[in-house]
Amino acid sequence: MPFTFTETEIPGLYIVQPHFHQDQRGSNLKTFHKPSFEEKGLPCDFGETMITTNLHKNVIRGFHYQRPPYAQYKLYFCLQGEWNNYSVDLRKGSPTYGKVICINMREEERKLLYIPEGIANAHLVLRENTRVLYQLGAQYMPEYDAGVRWDSLGIDFGELAPIMTEKDAALPPFAELDSPFVFGKNC
């Protein structure tokens, strides 16, 4: 069965409904099918696959991206729990430059999120013991790692007391970003 791709408000960012089958034995979920992604014209030659475990609610990871020439497209799946994925378009010249969207990811929904190069993303964990599987289009290169501070994009997180790394808390604000991404040119 084919995958279903629904483009979000940000060009190139897709919610993907994968193949799922259930019968009396149990279930089978296919989280990646290269021909489906290629048919949609989405890069899908993944260089790494990782699993992140978040022990607590209110963990924030991000906003992260990797600079060219090691920019990353990403494919996310919720193995367990729930989180909100926030994505911001960093591509100069994009009709949605600076726009932030939130996609809720829950294990019960069995959906994927495809994020193209030039989009920074962050996770706000909503349940304890949330596990996230993600594939990256380029290997992690620490010297090209970059980000935007979580509270600099006008997102209303309410009375949130986030749990995060010192590194993420010290990321520069969006207003200081000199984006290396150009819509339609290098991403």
Rg (CA), the chain: 16
Name residue 183's amino acid: F
Q: What CA–CA distance (Å, rounded) separates 41 from 54? A: 32
Token readout for 170 is 């010290």
Token readout for 17 is 């409904």
Q: What CA–CA distance (Å, rounded) separates 177 from 163? A: 24
Concerning whether 64 is annotated as a catalytic residue, the answer is yes
Q: Which of 14, 65, 86, 134 is catalytic?
A: 134
Q: Which of 14, 64, 65, 123 is catalytic?
A: 64
Given its phi and psi angles, is residue 20 left (phi above 0), alpha (psi -120 to 50 degrees) or beta? beta
Element (H, E) at 140: none
- As annotated, the active-site residues are 64, 134
